[in-house]
Structure 1
């Protein structure tokens, strides 16, 4: 299971928090979090490499979304460490994570329907001009920059002046991803980005994810769609009951093994480790 399987000689089984590769952008080690008597995360270790799509899979309640909330500054872990871009981080809010270069596309997209595309792109990031206490929104600059962002990602949006409520599900998802990718982000976390989309819209979002990876972004993808995971990802981490039980290079695994690891039909890499 440790034989080289890819051109980059990456092992099939990924090191769970140990011997992390030098090009890892994100390194999570032994992270735990409890809500009262409920242990949501138990000693979770995983990493994500630069320029790769890293998938996190698991059944409902496995701890996937809780983990990304710890990474993105929504929750603070009770124990463990998170290193990002070579530094130990202790994010106290999503704004701090965003400033460090971590953007998150949540399932609910967090878009304001009555605002336009450009207004959503610059929500809480408004460009202002002025002297002293007198400052005004530079709407022209924001529209121009929004058009550049949309065109650079080839996002299928009618116009940056269109209101979000008039957009299709795929277009809304594209706007949310565009907002995440458009502000010098190093890591983009996507939580079920195509769960509510049709076939054509899903294909467009998948193309966008591949384009972002090719541009050098690191992407953490949460998805229940195993075909999508196998198609898009370079590495897969499997979570079960609040633990990360296994990690695989995608080229060295298949859907049957992933399902077996998720359900417990096959023991994970940490099954024999007392925690």
Structure 2
């Protein structure tokens, strides 16, 4: 993505945004509330067309004006609300809108493909015939991620996948993200949790007030530097604590 601009009336949501993502890597998109993260991923998902700017997919210029166009380009988006049907089982949720069979559904084939996909992700789902309402938060996130892979996408966008999850469930979802990378997919991870970001991301792209405000390689950047880029200030509570710790270590 290059030079992406988007406004809603008098509000300029994005200004001259650039973003790159490559196969087999996880790019974390971080920023404070209102930084433009959701607007940017909705442009990729075809919910909001960009006002100006260019998008190139596999070295070819493309336009994304609808979710259908986004899907055809191999872009799958898993939103924070997951959009699952609680009263349906795992198989029905995975193939909702993509059922196999014209007149009679191929239930056995769909069930086999569901198990195959979940095994590839090392997913911990007790049964593909259990209703989604009975699953934990981490298991529900697993189903939503697995559903995004039904169309064999090349890019998967995950919007706050570990929000409101416990420690064990968060670890389960982070393992899923690792599996996506191992399958050669490009993953865009939107998250406020810097521990999760540093655990699974390869690169971190920071947005602030609708503009690019830094790009970092994980392992070469400190937590304090990321916070400074997000807040736009190098002097904050986090950096002051880090400085105080460094001073104590030097004195000792």
Greater helix percent: which structure? Answer: 2
The aligned runs of 1:87-166 (5 Å cut-off) are 87-129=60-102, 135-166=103-134
TM-score normalized with structure 2 length? 0.90
- Structure (1/2) with the larger strand percentage: 1
- Aligned mate of 1:226, from 176, 194, 199: 194
Task: Spell out, residue by residue over 1:155-195, the C-alpha distance to the aligned partner (whole angstroms, 9 max, x if none).
Answer: 11111111111111010000011112343111110010001
Q: Quote the Cα distance in structure 1 between the aligned partners of 2:121 and 2:143.
A: 10
CA RMSD after TM alignment: 1.2
1:10-44 C-alpha deviation (Å, 9 max, x unpaired): xxxxxxxxxxxxxxxxxx10101111111111111
Q: Which residue of the partner structure matches residue 14 of structure 2?
A: 41
1:242 aligns to 2:210 (yes or no) = yes
* Aligned equivalent of 2:239: none
Gaps (5+ residues) in structure 2?
235-252
Q: 2:246 maps to what in 1? A: none
2:95/2:150 contact within 8 Å kept: no
For structure 1, list consecutive stretches of 5 or more residues without a partner in the other structure. Answer: 1-27, 130-134, 267-275
Given the alignment, which residue of 148, 166, 171 partners 2:139? 171
TM-score, scaled to structure 1: 0.82
After TM superposition, the structure 1 stretch with the greater mean CA deviation from structure 2, 148-157 or 57-66, is 148-157
**Residue-pair matches, total:** 234
Structure 1 runs (4+) greater than 3 angstroms displaced: none
Q: Distance in 2 between matches of 1:198 and 1:186?
A: 29
Report SS of the residue matched to 1:128: coil
Of the candidates 20, 45, 67, which is equivalent to residue 40 of structure 2?
A: 67
Q: Quick one: distance in 2 between partners of 1:112 and 1:56?
A: 28
Cα distance in 2 for partners of 1:172, 1:191 equals 14
Q: Deviations over 1:231-275 (max 9, x none)?
A: 111111100011112111112211100111111115xxxxxxxxx
